[in-house]
Amino acid sequence: MKQINPADAFSKYQPKNITFVISVDKQGKPNGMIAAWHTILSKEPPMMGVAVYKVQNTHKLIEQSKEFVLAIPSGRLLKAITIFGEYHGDKIDKFKMSKVKTKKAHHIKSPLLADATINFECKVVKQISTGDHTFFIGKVVAAYFNDNQKIILSSGRDKNGKRTFCKL
Amino acid sequence: MKQINPADAFSKYQPKNITFVISVDKQGKPNGMIAAWHTILSKEPPMMGVAVYKVQNTHKLIEQSKEFVLAIPSGRLLKAITIFGEYHGDKIDKFKMSKVKTKKAHHIKSPLLADATINFECKVVKQISTGDHTFFIGKVVAAYFNDNQKIILSSGRDKNGKRTFCKL
């Protein structure tokens, strides 16, 4: 067991669960990003949280709209993960580019991803500044499950910096 | 995609990363539990958070000591996971029962687990009430990596309620 820099230990923490974080702008146009730093927080009431880097477009959108969807990816979303994870939403329309299929949420404006294994609709109840990120805490107001789609996990990046995944 | 109860969706969220949460009482005696609900929160400064059920012994100990270790398990800790996850620390000494190997931390009193893939020493900087859990936010003051030990993940429970795991 070797002592290493905490930030290096974060990147060694693989395989890791990942999620799409989907939000909307004032006109209702959706944007999305990929985040690993998320967790369930409470069963009763159901709550989840996600840490978003303060300079990200998604950060601004969640602060404005006070809502987000967490969509836990299945193997059908590999291409979308790369597009949502590598491009900036203020420059391209990630939804159009990835041709990802969406569905309307019941209680919020952010769309669900039809091919995600699980979708969580969340309304922000608290936001906490945690260093270079903001931790958005949401009440889960609805959840959806695709029982024929297995969850995939991040397993890091290859030598060329390309994201790698594993399915169990 | 079928709408389901959020709490049921939480239990469908598998495979999932898990961690040991280790804390000490006022006499310095360690206790530990297994938690799935944890996340990295910030790179600069390095921060992590873990949600602990409010009635748990670990909750009281972290509130008192303002510190905890998150030890990300390798396959060597399967037996310890079952013992730490299923028994109560106020009744038995989980460390003795599991014969888990510990090491002294550098900055806090909670011990590290020698066979964990990663150990994070954390000092509490904030605690947030999130429903039936408290989310303890810690600054990561040291980290340790075992590069020959792969991380294992929870894959739920079998028909008999026994914890199941997967390694990648």
DSSP element (H, E) containing B137: strand B133-145
B144/A168 touch (CB, cutoff 8 Å), yes or no:
no
Chain B residue closest to A43 (CA)?
A: B7
Nearest CB to B143 within list A6, A46, A72:
A6
Give the closest residue to B134 by CA, choosing from B45, B12, B21, B13.
B21
CB-based contact B13:A151 (threshold 8 Å): yes
Q: What are residue B80's DSSP bridge partners?
A: none
Residue A45: list chain B partners with CB under 8 A.
131
Distance CA B45, CA B39 (A): 15
Q: State whether residue A84 sits within 8 Å of chain B by CB.
A: no
Domain ranges for chain A: 6-167
**What are the pLDDT digits (tens) for A51-92?**
999 999 999 999 999 999 999 999 999 999 999 998 887 778
From residue A118, alpha-carbon distances to A4, A143, B13, B16, B57 in Å are: 35, 7, 7, 13, 32
Query: Which two tokens mark B12?
Result: 């469908």
For residue A62 the two structure tokens come to: 């969640």
pLDDT of residue A92: 86
Examine the pLDDT at B159 and tell me if it is beyond 80: yes
Q: What is the ipTM for the molecules in this complex?
A: 0.97
Tokens (6 digits) for A10? 């974060």
Q: Which residues of B are less than 8 Å from A39 in CB distance? A: 37-39, 49, 51
Tens-place pLDDT, residues B86-120:
888 777 899 999 999 999 999 999 999 999 999 99
Q: Please state which CATH number belongs to domain B17-146.
A: 2.30.110.10
Under an 8 A CB cutoff, do B130 and A42 touch?
Answer: yes
As a whole number of angstroms, the distance between CA A103 and CA B130 comes to 29
Interface residue A55 vs chain B (CB under 8 A):
no
Q: What is the mean pLDDT of residues B151-165?
A: 93
Those of residues 23-52 in B touching chain A at CB distance below 8 A are 36-47, 49, 51
Phi and psi based region of residue A99 (left: phi greater than 0; alpha: psi -120 to 50; beta: remaining): left
Q: What is the pLDDT of residue A61?
A: 97
Cβ contact (<8 Å) for B131 and A40? no
Contacts of B7 in chain A (CB under 8 A): 43-44, 46
**Conformational region of residue B97, where left means phi above 0, alpha means psi within -120 to 50, and beta covers everything else:** alpha
A146–chain B Cβ distance below 8 A for any pair: yes
Phi-psi region of A156 (alpha: psi -120 to 50; beta: other; left: phi over 0): left
Instruction: Please tell me the distance from the alpha carbon of residue A71 to that of residue B9, in angstroms, as a whole number.
Output: 12
Residue carrying structure tokens 């990363």: B17
Residue with token string 């291409």: A79
**pLDDT, average across residues A83-103:** 90
Encode B18-82 in three state secondary structure.
Answer: CEEEEEECCCCCEEEEEECCEEEEECCCCEEEEEEECCCHHHHHHHHHCEEEEEECEHHHHHHHH
Which CATH entry fits the domain spanning A6-167: 3.40.640.10, 2.30.110.10, 2.70.70.10, 2.115.10.20?
A: 2.30.110.10
The mean pLDDT value for B59-67 works out to 98
Question: pLDDT tens, A14-51?
Answer: 999 999 999 999 999 999 999 999 999 999 999 999 99
Contacts of A153 (CB under 8 A, 6+ apart): A15, A16, A17, A18, A165, A166, A167, A168, B15, B153, B168
Distances (CA, A) of B94 to A6, A77, A85, B49, B161: 27, 41, 41, 23, 20
Average pLDDT, chain A: 96
Confidence of residue B164 (pLDDT cuts 50, 70, 90): very high
Rounded Cα distance between B122 and B94, Å, is 21
From residue A147, give the alpha-carbon distance in Å to each of A104, B10, B25, B159.
19, 13, 43, 18
Contact B114 A1 (CB under 8 A): yes
Cβ-Cβ contacts under 8 Å, B38 against chain A = 39
pLDDT at B91: 78
Amino acid (1-letter code) at residue B42? S
> What's the confidence (pLDDT) of residue A88?
80
pTM of the model: 0.97
